[in-house]
Structure 1
Amino acid sequence: MSAHTVHTTLPSFADTQTLAQIRKHLDQLVAEARTRAAVYSSYTADMWEQISVSLGGGKLTRPALVVLGYQAFGGVPSKALFDLACAFELLHSALLMHDDVVDRDYVRRGAPTLSAHYRDLAVAAGRNSVDADHAGNSAAIIAGDLLLAEAIKIAGRSAQGLDCEAEVEAAFHRAIAQAGAGELEDLLYSLSQQPATTGEVLRMEELKTAAYSFQLPLQAGALLAGAGKEQAEVLGNVGCQLGIAYQVIDDVLGTFGDPKATGKSVDSDLREAKSTILISLANGQQGFSSQLAHYRAGKSELSDLRRALEESGAEQFARKLAHQLCTSATRSATFLRLPAAAQAMLHECTALILSRSN
């Protein structure tokens, strides 16, 4: 298996040593999956090698938040912690594999996706571009399924035999269910003649990203450490607000960010006419809504839509919204009397979210 390096852009929700331990454990889990697959299918073993490459560029945000929730309630580092942390990273990677198919993207984190690898294999085998794209996307769906199955297995064993077993397992399954619901809403909103309202977008982003990326990693980590169900839910709900803020900034970077820093296209969301927070905020202005209708009808270019979005001031409105969400989250953490360690970590999360550029 390829060696992975810890990138300097990793969020500091967990210390460097803990992140290195998570990375090592993740590599071990993937290596074990590859070894098991090699017994019955060399092709599947090769796919796990490609999955390993894809995992190498991750920032480990979700595992770090599992650790944050765990440490906030006095948890001591353990194999159970690293299993649960890695299960959330495997889930994240599974969703990214499928998301690349939905978005028809072949670049992520500045590198070719797994789907691009298998597309290129099809081209090398003499297939035309349509069939090659289909082969790449099919492989990504299969890889996502493999990752999802592995994630469920690892999460299930993390709390096995502990009093919190049922609650941890329920939190992980909720993460999967809500991510799927949010992805479906995102897809259906993109098919509508009218973009979703700001309220609808925020709800969709809560389901699609905030739940599995912030709320439930924090909540599951707290449960694993022995927090009461109510305490863990409080921490999770505060994390949900931070997760929505994170996704709002992600929408901004996905359209106005530097591709060299973000590692992804700034045209994908606009090209797919996705109902991002930027589109919903700008759509209240007549000039932009007319331009959006023209673009969706094929009567204008993507560059025209981008120019109208820039002129709408939506980026500034979105950043202000993210700031408000983060402020609300940290106030809630103080009001609800979460442990001092949890409050300090949440304040750090807020600073990182609002200052991120990738």
Structure 2
Amino acid sequence: MTEKVSLFNVSTSVAEVTTRMTEFFDEKERLAASLSGQYAELWAAARQSSAGGKKFRPALVVNSYQALGGTDHNAAVVVATAFELLHTAFLLHDDVIDGDTMRRGQPNLAGSFSAQAAVRGVRAGSAATWGEASAILAGDLLIYAAQSQVARLNVAEPIRVALLDLLEECLFVTAAGELADVSFSTSVQFPELSEIVSMTQWKTAHYSFQAPLQAGAILAGADHETMRALSEYGRNIGIAFQLRDDILGVFGTEDVTGKSAMSDLREGKITLLMGYALQRSGTDELREVLTREHVTESDAHRVRELLDSTGARDFIENLISDYALSALAALELPSIPSSLREQLTEVANKACERSA
């Protein structure tokens, strides 16, 4: 049985990853229950945090591996599972950093734990601390679990070491992107547009697109030219993906995206969309809204007007197209199989055109 991955317009086999995730969380919940009921609840909530989503990262690992001639399907599933665990960990930590209590239209781990504590009569501040601490611990545990999956992989040592190095690079680069993102939104740093692009690549493109494709290629024993092409594709399409996310974060519909169109504004996010508008705006009106403690629906409506009137929305739409074209150009190599090129072309189209 296959599970359709929304970023692809094809049925991609990720059922094995789902099964492996289920087995992983079953074991952890069993072990946690021997320590305390609260700890078992933490692992159950971590499992819930991993549910849903597009599952395109594991699909990229498996598809690139198979297209490049890999035959050890189980090894590809293990690596794909590691990337899904890593993704879940990053989401848990990102929500704490951003102060978000919702994810995919439902309370996230921090939000649900905080709410449960409040029901028990715990005061608001302590309940929030409990929720955030729980989410941080769950994220830490899943980061280690992702590394452990790869460390135990039954493949040649040079391949296993290369994959572990790639995971370490994911952590290193993504942390740099997260730090930059927070520095921009808190006005610790007033970034140039090029710095916002770098932050976008570090925080999203690297671990979501570049690294999964590279992981599949490493496992398949691909040559350096192929690795470089997939990395370049991943970098460009990852930036395009995040730019679309930035537009949806302001102009999207919550029922479709599962995320409030107010959250980026309330957090004062300096995305490329906002950065361009701030540069083009002749007043401080937009910057003043982004620094407000409370942002209203009226404020959000005005921000959307400013993003349109400054040309920021059109600018980002054009950039999305440019990055997508650059991504596809990177695949024009004889070493990239036509089957993989076709799939990644579909990924590019979906990443740029999606509504959620």
Q: Which moved more, 1:311-320 or 1:348-357?
A: 311-320
Q: Is the 8 A contact 1:195 1:275 kept in 2?
A: no
Deviation of 1:312 after TM superposition, in Å, equals 2.4
Question: C-alpha distance in 2, partners of 1:214/1:83?
Answer: 17
Q: Where does residue 53 of structure 1 map in the other structure?
A: 48
Alpha-carbon distance change, 298 to 88 in structure 1, aligned in 2, over 3 angstroms:
closer
Answering whether residue 249 of structure 2 is matched by residue 251 of structure 1, we say no
Deviation of 1:163 after TM superposition, in Å, equals 3.9
Q: Where does residue 11 of structure 1 map in the other structure?
A: 7
Q: Which moved more, 1:179-188 or 1:125-134?
A: 125-134
What secondary structure is seen at the aligned counterpart in 2 of 1:75?
coil
Given the alignment, which residue of 273, 279, 284 partners 2:279? 284
Deviation of 1:279 after TM superposition, in Å, equals 0.6
Instruction: Kindly provide the CA deviation profile for residues 36-88 of structure 1, in whole angstroms up to 9, marking residues without a partner as x.
Output: 22233332222111111121122211111111221221112522111100100
Given the alignment, which residue of 132, 140, 146 partners 2:141? 146
Question: C-alpha distance in 1, partners of 2:147/2:258?
Answer: 28
Answering whether residue 339 of structure 2 is matched by residue 344 of structure 1, we say no
Amino acid at match of 2:23: Q
Give TM-score scaled by structure 1 length: 0.91
What secondary structure is seen at the aligned counterpart in 2 of 1:158?
coil
Q: Where does residue 332 of structure 1 map in the other structure?
A: 330
Given the alignment, which residue of 222, 230, 235 partners 1:227? 222
Q: Is the 8 A contact 2:204 2:238 kept in 1?
A: yes
Q: Which moved more, 1:85-94 or 1:315-324?
A: 315-324
Question: C-alpha distance in 2, partners of 1:192/1:62?
Answer: 32
Q: Which moved more, 1:158-167 or 1:291-300?
A: 291-300
Give TM-score scaled by structure 2 length: 0.92
What secondary structure is seen at the aligned counterpart in 2 of 1:333?
coil
Q: Where does residue 23 of structure 1 map in the other structure?
A: 18
Alpha-carbon distance change, 243 to 88 in structure 1, aligned in 2, over 3 angstroms:
same
Q: Where does residue 354 of structure 1 map in the other structure?
A: 352
Q: Is the 8 A contact 1:13 1:68 kept in 2?
A: no
Given the alignment, which residue of 76, 84, 88 partners 2:79? 84
What secondary structure is seen at the aligned counterpart in 2 of 1:143?
helix
Question: C-alpha distance in 2, partners of 1:77/1:320?
Answer: 41
Q: Is the 8 A contact 1:50 1:114 kept in 2?
A: yes
Alpha-carbon distance change, 350 to 29 in structure 1, aligned in 2, over 3 angstroms:
same
Given the alignment, which residue of 86, 93, 97 partners 1:98? 93
Percent of pairs with identical residues: 36
Deviation of 1:15 after TM superposition, in Å, equals 2.8
CA RMSD, 1 decimal: 2.2
Q: Where does residue 124 of structure 1 map in the other structure?
A: 119
Question: C-alpha distance in 2, partners of 1:203/1:292?
Answer: 23
Deviation of 1:310 after TM superposition, in Å, equals 3.5
Amino acid at match of 2:265: L
What is the count of residue pairs matched by the alignment? 351
Gaps of 5+ in 1: none
Question: C-alpha distance in 1, partners of 2:229/2:289?
Answer: 43
Instruction: Kindly provide the CA deviation profile for residues 243-301 of structure 1, in whole angstroms up to 9, marking residues without a partner as x.
Output: 111111111111111111110111111112111011112122133x5112322554986
Deviation of 1:337 after TM superposition, in Å, equals 4.6
Question: C-alpha distance in 2, partners of 1:63/1:50?
Answer: 21
Question: C-alpha distance in 2, partners of 1:77/1:24?
Answer: 17
What secondary structure is seen at the aligned counterpart in 1 of 2:236?
helix
Question: C-alpha distance in 1, partners of 2:93/2:233?
Answer: 28
Q: Is the 8 A contact 2:246 2:273 kept in 1?
A: yes
